[in-house]
């Protein structure tokens, strides 16, 4: 089944109510793709198209069969050449689902942590592994479409998803796995993004960042907006809010999460959090019970 539009439409795009969800999308007409992020993990497999994928200020020129690994909170956006259709498989994954099936040191999100270690978000598989992973996703697509009509349909879908993840993690952990080198859209923007993410609790004023990059504030803000679609201030705020939400999920109190994520004023934090997530910050009940 083809869906001719992205399953999401806001800066924090997409929603996931269950453990996982697979989409098969084929865009045949030109459309705009805005930078966005998700609260869950995302795997994209390119089937067709001339696509450059941008993740956190780094760009990857994709080939059909390439696997894009987008972690929670990573701002990303495809740039698509409209001369050919853009077809892809997209798998949304709940962090709780991956944690539930952790076996000792074997974690189903290892492919994401390995990608981060290799400083790349894109895995290019050899023919045999590529055919296997795409075949499993297409089986999952068929099973997902018919799960309400077939015996043990939801269970079969879960098994197929787990099999895909096991195979993907095995090939991603191989020493010979090929991770694509990335090309920074602008080395100053790439370096600035890395610095911001590593120093969220510190002074990230425009003046301090400008001095760090040895460029004028105006020039720095202009190229950052051009390359990412975000203002520097909005990017920092979103990253701090995501960190605060993660701390809350781990059981940290709201006041402590506020300051640990880099906010200097609790009232400002409350307003920003409610505006962004539609609710006031609260500690995870699950975390408090453990």
Output the domain CATH number for residue 215. Answer: 1.10.10.60
284 pLDDT band, cuts 50/70/90, is low
**6-15, 36-45, 73-82, 261-270: range with lowest mean pLDDT:** 6-15
Q: Is residue 121 within 8 Å of 60, Cβ to Cβ?
A: yes
With CA atoms as reference, report the closest residue to 182 among 88, 90, 76, 91.
Answer: 76
For residue 246, what pLDDT is reported?
Answer: 86
Model confidence at 111: pLDDT above 70: yes
Model confidence at 255: pLDDT above 80: yes
pTM of the model: 0.78
Three-class SS of residue 174?
Answer: coil
Integer distance in angstroms from the first to the last C-alpha of the chain?
Answer: 41
Please indicate, yes or no, if residue 4 is contained in any of the structural domains: no
104 pLDDT band, cuts 50/70/90, is confident
Q: And the tokens for 84?
A: 């050919």
6 pLDDT band, cuts 50/70/90, is very low
154 pLDDT band, cuts 50/70/90, is very high
Average pLDDT over residues 95-118: 90
Please indicate, yes or no, if residue 3 is contained in any of the structural domains: no
- Domain holding 96: CATH number? 2.60.120.280
Model confidence at 185: pLDDT above 80: no
pLDDT in tens, 32-78: 788 888 889 999 999 999 999 988 878 899 999 999 999 988 888 89
Average pLDDT over residues 25-30: 88
2 pLDDT band, cuts 50/70/90, is very low
With CA atoms as reference, report the closest residue to 4 among 22, 21, 37, 29.
Answer: 29
29 pLDDT band, cuts 50/70/90, is confident
Average pLDDT over residues 224-242: 87
Average pLDDT over residues 1-19: 51
Name beta bridge partners: 26: 87
For residue 290, what pLDDT is reported?
Answer: 31
pLDDT in tens, 76-92: 889 999 889 999 999 99
For residue 259, what pLDDT is reported?
Answer: 94
* Vertex 145: Cα angle to 144 and 147 (nearest 5): 60
Average pLDDT over residues 83-104: 93
268 pLDDT band, cuts 50/70/90, is very high
Average pLDDT over residues 1-21: 55
Give the chain's domain count: 2
d(CA 228, CA 104) in angstroms, rounded, equals 38
- Name the strand (E) or helix (H) holding 245: helix 232-249
Question: Do 175 and 192 lie in a common domain?
Answer: no
Please indicate, yes or no, if residue 5 is contained in any of the structural domains: no
Percent of the chain at pLDDT above 70? 90
Strands 122-124 and 67-70 come out as antiparallel
Please indicate, yes or no, if residue 122 is contained in any of the structural domains: yes
- Chain centroid, CA 59 distance in Å: 14
Going from the C-alpha of 164 to that of each of 3, 17, 158, the distances in angstroms are: 22, 20, 10
For residue 14, what pLDDT is reported?
Answer: 56
User: Other C-beta atoms within 10 Å of 34: how many?
Assistant: 11
Please indicate, yes or no, if residue 261 is contained in any of the structural domains: yes
Last residue of a domain, one of 135, 153, 179: 179
Q: Is residue 234 within 8 Å of 242, Cβ to Cβ?
A: no
Question: Which residue's structure tokens are 């895909």?
Answer: 164
With CA atoms as reference, report the closest residue to 145 among 155, 136, 132, 154.
Answer: 154
Q: How high is the mean pLDDT of the chain?
A: 86
The residues, any chain, with a CB within 8 Å of residue 256's CB and separated by 6 or more, are 247
Range of the domain at 109: 20-179
For residue 7, what pLDDT is reported?
Answer: 39
d(CA 138, CA 23) in angstroms, rounded, equals 10
Last residue of a domain, one of 116, 146, 179: 179
Please indicate, yes or no, if residue 15 is contained in any of the structural domains: no
Q: Is residue 290 within 8 Å of 251, Cβ to Cβ?
A: yes
With CA atoms as reference, report the closest residue to 219 among 250, 197, 192, 239.
Answer: 192
d(CA 177, CA 83) in angstroms, rounded, equals 31
Last residue of a domain, one of 144, 160, 179: 179
Please indicate, yes or no, if residue 269 is contained in any of the structural domains: yes
Please indicate, yes or no, if residue 9 is contained in any of the structural domains: no
Question: Which residue's structure tokens are 């390439």?
Answer: 66
């Amino acid at each position: 089944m083809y869906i001719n539009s992205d399953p999401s439409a806001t800066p924090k795009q997409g929603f996931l109510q269950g453990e996982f969800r697979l989409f098969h999308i084929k865009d045949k007409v030109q459309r705009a793709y805005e930078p966005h992020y998700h609260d869950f993990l995302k795997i994209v497999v390119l089937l067709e198209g001339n696509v450059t994928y941008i993740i956190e200020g780094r760009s990857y020129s994709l080939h059909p069969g390439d696997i894009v690994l987008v972690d929670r909170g990573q701002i990303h956006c495809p740039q698509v050449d409209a001369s050919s259709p853009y077809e892809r498989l997209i798998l949304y994954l709940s962090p709780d689902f991956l944690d539930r099936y952790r076996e000792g040191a074997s974690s189903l999100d290892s492919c994401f942590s390995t990608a981060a270690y290799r400083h790349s978000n894109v895995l290019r598989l050899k023919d045999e592994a590529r055919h296997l992973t795409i075949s499993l996703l297409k089986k999952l697509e068929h099973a997902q479409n018919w799960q309400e009509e077939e015996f043990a349909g939801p269970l079969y879908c879960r098994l197929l998803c787990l099999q895909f993840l096991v195979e993907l993690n095995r090939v991603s952990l191989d020493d010979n796995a090929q991770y694509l080198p990335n090309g920074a859209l602008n080395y100053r923007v790439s370096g600035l993004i890395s610095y911001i993410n590593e120093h969220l609790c510190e002074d990230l004023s425009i003046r301090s960042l400008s001095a760090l990059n040895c460029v004028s504030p105006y020039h720095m803000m202009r190229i950052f907006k051009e390359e990412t679609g975000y203002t520097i201030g909005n990017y920092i705020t979103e990253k701090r809010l995501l960190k605060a939400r993660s701390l809350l999920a781990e059981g940290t109190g709201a006041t402590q999460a506020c300051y640990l994520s880099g906010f200097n004023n609790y009232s400002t934090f409350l307003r920003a959090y409610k505006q962004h997530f539609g609710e006031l910050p609260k500690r995870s009940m699950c975390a408090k019970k453990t």
